[in-house]
Chains A and B, each alone.
Chain A
Amino acid sequence: MSTNAAPPDRIPQDRPKADAFLHVKDLRVHFPTDDGVVKSVDGLSFSLERGQTLGIVGESGSGKSVTSLSIMGLHAEGTAEISGQVVLDGDSLVGASAEHVRQLRGKKMAMIFQDPLSAMHPYYTVGHQIIEAYRVHNNVSKQVARKHAIEMLDRVGIPQPTSRVDDYPHQFSGGMRQRAMIAMALSCDPELLIADEPTTALDVTVQAQILDLIRDLQQEFNSAVIIITHDLGVVAELADDILVMYAGRVVEYASAHEIFTAPQHPYTWGLLGSMPRLDRERAERLMPIKGTPPSLINVPSGCPFHPRCSYAHLTGGASETERPELVEITPRHNLACHLSTQDRQRIWEHDIKPKL
């Protein structure tokens, strides 16, 4: 067990791929407030291809929603300082005109939100809202748009779409409502779909249906999908890659398989350990991560996780002073941690894995 800092066998590499369909490099989103600058996203990089699903996982306040809003350009002008690169199909979005980004919204990239009841306008019918979404980007008559809306409702699995198209959001059950929102988001065949906590507000039984739906639609339209959640179980089903965020930064970024079979970051271990699982001994306690999420104004120095990390003492003080860089430790597995490879693997094998 070495107490050295950065072991020499780690080679920093430039992954994500620059020519991916969606390429985010070193995205920083800071909000100046009276209390100080809130660093919601502080150096985020990833890439995503069409037909692929990325899961972004983290606690509340980790910056995952801010990331998606930044990609969509939904921060009000003047409120956020955004730097870095976001390139969608060759189109650079950071620094582009608001009008340009607006034209892409709904058409090239779409988003569905956590609570479909509050996210849809209560005074307009579902059909009206879908038609509206469609007609923003397609110059067609109302009748044509209505036909399309009915088709979309049918496509997302809503029974009797011809009558339900004239119903109001509050007249749908939770699951149906979320389907309707998905129909609305996909009405213009967007190439990128961002789903921000799409199942959090739904019953467990309905969750699976929605996730299935998203997967089916992705296969059908070949869209790139980003799923944002705090629930690892959700992304276990769907994601090809998983990006774990903490305090606005990436701590681990790897394929879903790797994350679940060979996680390397103490925070990821904590997330996995705190998931309730049916196949575990009921007598054993959950392993919550001690401590609370950090303030994004006064982010802890060095590694932002160090106050809550059970293994920070093993880094020889580096976790308190030096910010760990995101490094590719094994092919397509990126990590930002000061622990030496030996320490990590030992702890994983002996302490964490048996308990999961």
Chain B
Amino acid sequence: MPTTVLTYIVRRLIGAVILLFIVSAVVFSIFFLIPRAAGASADDLASRYVGKSAGVEQIHQTAVKLGFTDPIYVQYGRFAKGIVVGQDYNYGPAVEHCPAPCLGYSFITQNPVLPDLLDRLPVTLSLAAGAAVLWLVGGVSIGVISALKRGSALDRASMSVALAGVSLPIFFTGLLTLSIFSYGLGWTAPGGANPMDATSPLDWAYRMILPWITLAFLFAAAYARLTRAGMLETMNEDYIRTARAKGLRERDVVVKHGLRAALTPILTIFGLDLGLLLGGAILTETTFSLPGLGQYAVQAINNNDLPKVLGVTLLGAVFIIMANLIVDLLYAVVDPRVRTK
């Protein structure tokens, strides 16, 4: 790889790390400052982590143990240090060493956060990857056909369906599809079917096919519209006329010349969407009861479990930042005019 590209990547990676620390500081501050702005003291916050009938003494001890009595920069410093060198937590009979990068320790469930995240990541990955393939292939194909047959009944129909896909919320379409296809017809797996429990790749696909399709429906719609618009633009370009003038088959003109150019912005958006989704497809996972990062985030927020929220937010930020970087690099690969730096 040429050195300029390498230095570019290294620079971006360093920037990414800095950005991640900033993100973590911001999230940390939000969780720190907002209850205090509402007038809560350290003990008030600690009282969340104790049982129903805990006494004042116990609450205060908990506040000290969890570090709530320390100023914000000390608390954040502890967290940041944990990421770099790890931290130790007392779970009763012994002390557990949470190795670097230690993304925090949940005091509510008494376990380190990172193993949870890694455990749930494959579910989110399964969901995101499968849906992504479906919506990319489906959305782009429909967009191309709509563009080529602009104004036809097919075009109008597919754009209307696309509008529905973008407008209907997934917690509605999800429950609906579950009712019809899983419980009514028995064709697909019921809610809560963990893809990681699958016994074979076919079983894995069986469990995921309904969430894939439902999620893909949402995105495919947007991608169909984008592709259609992109294709309409590219097919009017001069180089399309040149390609035809060379005697190329129309199919090659559309795909190799038209679609190739129209896909560039779509690929960049795809990268960003995928990055966002990997941080946790919250609505889909909740609707289909999939134990992924999104569901984890929702539960953590509901339980006011700051370390978990921080952890999942950071992981999501990692994916988004990486996606941005890859998309930028990919753009240079795809469009040679961008490369001259």
Contacts and interface: CB of A to CB of B under 8 A. Distances in A.
Interface stretch (B135-143, B167-175, B236-244, B311-319): B236-244
Nearest to B264: A123
B337 interface: yes
Contact of B238 (A72, A106, A118, A170): A118
Contacts of B249: 102, 136
Interface residues of A, number: 28
Given A74-B241, A113-B241, A122 B247 contact: no
Nearest to B235: A76
Contacts of A103: 247
B334 interface: yes
Contacts of B207: none
Nearest to B248: A136
A123 B261 CA distance: 7
Interface residues of B, number: 21
B336 A122 contact: yes
A87 B180 CA distance: 62
A133 B336 CA distance: 20
Contact of B335 (A72, A123, A136): A123
A168 B260 CA distance: 15
A152 to B, nearest CB: 13
B257 to A, nearest CB: 6
Contacts of A110: 245-246
Nearest to A105: B247
Contact of A105 (B239, B244, B334, B336): B244
B260 A123 contact: yes
Contacts of A113: 238, 241-242, 245
Contact of B246 (A106, A123, A125, A170): A106
Contact of A74 (B244, B260, B334): B244
Nearest to A137: B247
A120 interface: yes
Contacts of A132: 246, 248
A249 to B, nearest CB: 25
Contacts of B242: 113, 119-121, 181
A111 B245 CA distance: 7
A122 B337 contact: yes
Interface in A145-172: 168, 170
Contacts of A184: 246
Interface in A59-118: 72, 74, 102-107, 110-111, 113, 115, 118
A168 B338 CA distance: 11
Contacts of A133: 246-247
A174 to B, nearest CB: 15
B48 to A, nearest CB: 56
A138 to B, nearest CB: 11
Contacts of A74: 241, 244-245
Nearest to A122: B337
B257 A122 contact: no
Given A115-B238, A170-B336, A170-B337, A122 B261 contact: yes
Contacts of B250: 102
B247 A136 contact: yes
Contacts of B257: 121
A168 B247 contact: no
A122 B246 contact: no
Interface string B311-341: 0000000000000000000000011110000
Contacts of B264: 123
B263 to A, nearest CB: 10
B246 A120 contact: no
Interface string A129-141: 0001100110000
A125 B241 CA distance: 17
Given A168-B337, A170-B336, A170-B337, A119 B248 contact: no
B237 A118 contact: yes
Interface in A212-247: none
Nearest to A184: B246
Contacts of B260: 121, 123
B334 A123 contact: yes
Nearest to A136: B247
Given A113-B241, A113-B242, A121 B247 contact: no
Contact of A120 (B239, B248, B335): B239
A118 B336 CA distance: 14
Nearest to B249: A102
A132 B255 CA distance: 14
Given A113-B238, A123-B334, 4 more contacts: A118-B237, A118-B239, A119-B239, A120-B242
Interface of B: 237-239, 241-250, 257, 260-261, 264, 334-337
Interface of A: 72, 74, 102-107, 110-111, 113, 115, 118-123, 125, 132-133, 136-137, 168, 170, 181, 184-185
